[in-house]
């Protein structure tokens, strides 16, 4: 269910400060110098259990509140969906839950769970699907039973497939309403390629092509114990919980292992790409290229570079383009790193139509200026301090520790990745930062996207170089799919 609007209302009604000294008086200096060492903190680690069928379980006790939450992450996500059925994973992620189980409809589950103020939810991401629960501990048995039934015997009832498809048609019809959404989507296409599953979007026809058989086949293929990592956090006794989970899943036979997906990337040619949107007075400018993964040995230097160049109040982009030039509220960016595929290298600035080219030039100066004006010792020190002093916030709750460990397990990273990260950051040098900037930031190899009201720009984008106008018109629905006269735009 969408709760986006409530959220959007509150976002639109409030306004915030952020997207994001030599003469310091002695009292500040004194206080900073007398900061005591942080007390030793050894966060509780979850217990890792591997069942003979390959299912991996993490148990993390947390007795603060009378709650028990769990999430299973399952290999196989939208990047494995064939292009002709784009949207399948979204439909699967919804109907898995709304379609009910063999014995109970989704509506019956709704009543049953809401009476207990509990949730069981399913969803799909780019590389995995998830099923989770959240309940008061005294309802654990009731709610876990629903979780188990949905995991093992979902029914994907047809009436709920229709509703999920209609919701997707709705989101397709609305996808050009907000300039930020257009920019995000088109930027990903430029970075990864129009047809890359990291950028592709569903169309009326691809959603209409999804059948119940597709959903059941998907479930059969991927929901196998050896593809599942289950994490449980909350007010329980680990020994008892382990016994309960072994009883539930121990006899589940191992299935075929999900193969690594075959994903082709086809970044757009460098140049300028323009979407004309006549109902806005601000341009959304994004410069993109492919980034890298967190396995990259340069990851630590990249983290420091990103912090210094485009992250937060202290960064160069914030200081130069926002504070000094007053060109933008939203400005920032960095070299993106994903777990198992290249992230996006992306620089964003949002500025009034009249300063569009001026802002592109300002961003250009920052990027091409890196060679002449490398990140300084001061900037590097501040970035490292910022990462290292706030390091504790990566594991300041049992649930966060659990999430980190589950991610390492899922992507095959060493379980001590976080400790390695801390050491890695500490050892980054000025030369490392200059080297990664030179290696990844090539302004002439980036695609520049501008979504804005082109006739109001300060200068035509063509004054900067060849321009390709992007056609974002939504392909009309197949005849008869929707009532007459809909799906326009």
Partner 1 sequence: MKSRKLATILFCFVFYSLALSQDLTSFEKRTTVKTLPNGLTVIICERPEAPVFSFYTHVDAGSVQDPMGKTGLAHMFEHMAFKGTDTIGTRDYKDEKVALDKVETAYAAYIAERDKPVGRDEQKFKQLEQAWKDDIAAADKYSAPYNNEFGKIVESEGGEGMNAYTNLDETAYHYSFPVNRLELWAYLESERFLHPVMRQFYKERNVVIEERRMRTDSNPIGRLLEQFTEEAFAAHPYHRPTIGWMSDLNSFSATDAQNFFDKYYVPSNMVVTVVGDLKASDAMPIIEKYFSRIPARPKPDERTTTEPPQNSERRVVLQEQSQPLYLEGYHRPDYRSPDDQVYDAIADLMSDGRTSRLYRALVRDKQIASDSAGFSGLPGNKYPHLFAFYAFPLPGHTTKEVADAIHVEIDRLKKEDITDAELTMIKTRAKANLIRSLGSNAGLASELGLFQARYGDWRELFRSVDRIEKVTKADIRRVANETFVPENRTVGIIEFSGPPPRAAAAAQGGGR
Three-class SS state of 156? coil
Task: Tell which residue, 268, 300, 108, has the closest CA to residue 199.
Answer: 268
Q: Does 356 bind partner 1 (CB under 8 A)?
A: yes
Residues 143-182 that bind partner 1 (CB under 8 A): 162-163, 166-167, 169-171, 173-174, 176-180
With the CA atoms of 207, 212, 218 and 223 taken in that order, what torsion angle do they form, in degrees rounded to the nearest 10?
A: 130
Residues 200-259 that bind partner 1 (CB under 8 A): none
The per-residue DSSP string of 449-484 comes to EEEE-GGGSSS-GGGTS-EEE---PPPPPPTTSS-T
- Using CB under 8 A, pick the residue from 229, 232, 328, 433 that binds partner 1: 328
Query: Token pair of 17, please?
Result: 């400060």
Interacting span for partner 1 (CB under 8 A) from 361-369, 395-403, 418-426, 435-443: 395-403
Task: Report the nearest approach of partner 1 to the CB of residue 402 (Å).
Answer: 14
Task: Report the nearest approach of partner 1 to the CB of residue 327 (Å).
Answer: 7
From residue 260 to residue 289, the character string flagging contacts with partner 1 as x (rule: CB under 8 A) and all else as - is ------------x-x-xxxxxxx-------
Q: Are 379 and 437 in contact (CB under 8 A)?
A: no
Q: Does 39 bind partner 1 (CB under 8 A)?
A: yes
Minimum CB distance to partner 1 smaller for 225 or for 398: 398
- Using CB under 8 A, pick the residue from 240, 247, 253, 390 that binds partner 1: 390
Q: Does 414 bind partner 1 (CB under 8 A)?
A: no
From residue 79 to residue 98, the character string flagging contacts with partner 1 as x (rule: CB under 8 A) and all else as - is -------------------x
CA–CA separation, 18 vs 21, rounded Å? 22
Minimum CB distance to partner 1 smaller for 41 or for 247: 41
- Using CB under 8 A, pick the residue from 73, 322, 341, 405 that binds partner 1: 322
Q: Residues 218-229, buried b or exposed e (16+ Cβ, 10 A)?
A: bbeebbbbbbbb
Task: Report the nearest approach of partner 1 to the CB of residue 333 (Å).
Answer: 16
Interacting span for partner 1 (CB under 8 A) from 219-227, 364-372, 411-419, 462-470: 462-470
Q: Are 339 and 407 in contact (CB under 8 A)?
A: yes
Query: Token pair of 408, please?
Result: 């390492």
Query: Token pair of 22, please?
Result: 């030599």
Residues 442-461 that bind partner 1 (CB under 8 A): 450, 452-461
332 CB burial (10 A radius; 0-12, 13-18, 19+): buried
């Amino acid at each position: 269910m969408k709760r986006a609007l409530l959220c959007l209302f509150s976002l639109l009604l409030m306004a915030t400060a952020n997207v994001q000294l030599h003469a310091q008086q002695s009292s500040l200096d004194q206080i900073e110098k007398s900061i005591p060492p942080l007390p030793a903190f050894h966060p509780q680690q979850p217990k890792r259990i591997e069942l003979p069928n390959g299912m991996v379980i993490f148990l993390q006790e947390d007795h603060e509140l009378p709650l028990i939450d769990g999430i299973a992450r399952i290999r196989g996500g939208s990047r494995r969906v064939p292009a002709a059925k784009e949207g399948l994973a979204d439909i699967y992620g919804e109907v898995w839950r709304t379609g009910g189980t063999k014995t109970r409809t989704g509506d019956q589950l709704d009543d049953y769970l809401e009476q207990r103020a509990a949730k069981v939810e399913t969803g799909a991401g780019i590389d995995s699907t998830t099923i989770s629960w959240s309940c008061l501990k005294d309802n654990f048995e009731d709610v876990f039973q629903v979780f188990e039934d949905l995991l093992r015997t979902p029914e994907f009832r047809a009436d709920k497939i229709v509703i999920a498809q209609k919701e997707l048609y709705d989101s397709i019809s609305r996808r050009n309403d907000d300039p930020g959404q257009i920019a995000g989507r088109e930027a990903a296409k430029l970075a990864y390629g129009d047809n890359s599953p990291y950028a592709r979007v569903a169309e009326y026809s691809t959603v209409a092509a999804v059948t119940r058989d597709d959903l059941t086949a998907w479930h059969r293929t991927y929901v196998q114990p050896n593809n599942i990592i289950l994490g449980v956090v909350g007010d329980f006794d680990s020994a008892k919980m382990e016994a309960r989970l072994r009883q539930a899943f121990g006899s589940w036979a191992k299935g075929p292992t999900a193969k690594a997906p075959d994903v082709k990337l086809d970044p757009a040619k460098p140049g300028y790409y323009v979407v004309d949107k006549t109902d806005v007075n601000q341009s959304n400018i994004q410069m993109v290229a492919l980034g890298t993964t967190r396995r990259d040995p340069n990851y630590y230097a990249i983290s420091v570079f990103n912090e210094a160049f485009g992250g937060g109040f202290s960064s160069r982009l914030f200081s130069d383009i926002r504070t000094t030039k007053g060109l933008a509220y939203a400005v920032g960016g960095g070299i993106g790193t994903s777990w198992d595929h290249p992230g996006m290298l992306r620089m964003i600035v949002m500025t009034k139509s009249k300063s569009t080219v001026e802002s592109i030039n300002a961003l250009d100066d920052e990027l091409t200026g890196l060679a002449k004006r490398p990140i300084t010792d001061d900037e590097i020190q501040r970035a490292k301090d910022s990462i290292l002093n706030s390091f504790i916030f990566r594991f300041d709750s049992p649930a966060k520790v659990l999430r980190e460990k589950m991610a390492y397990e899922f992507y095959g990273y060493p379980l001590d990745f976080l400790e390695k990260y801390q050491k890695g950051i500490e050892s980054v040098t000025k030369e490392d930062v200059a080297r990664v900037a030179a290696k990844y930031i090539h302004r002439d190899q980036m695609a520049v996207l501008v979504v804005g009201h082109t006739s109001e720009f300060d200068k035509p984008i063509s004054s900067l170089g060849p321009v390709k106008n992007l056609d974002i018109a939504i392909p009309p629905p197949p005849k008869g799919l929707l009532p007459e006269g809909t799906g326009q735009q």
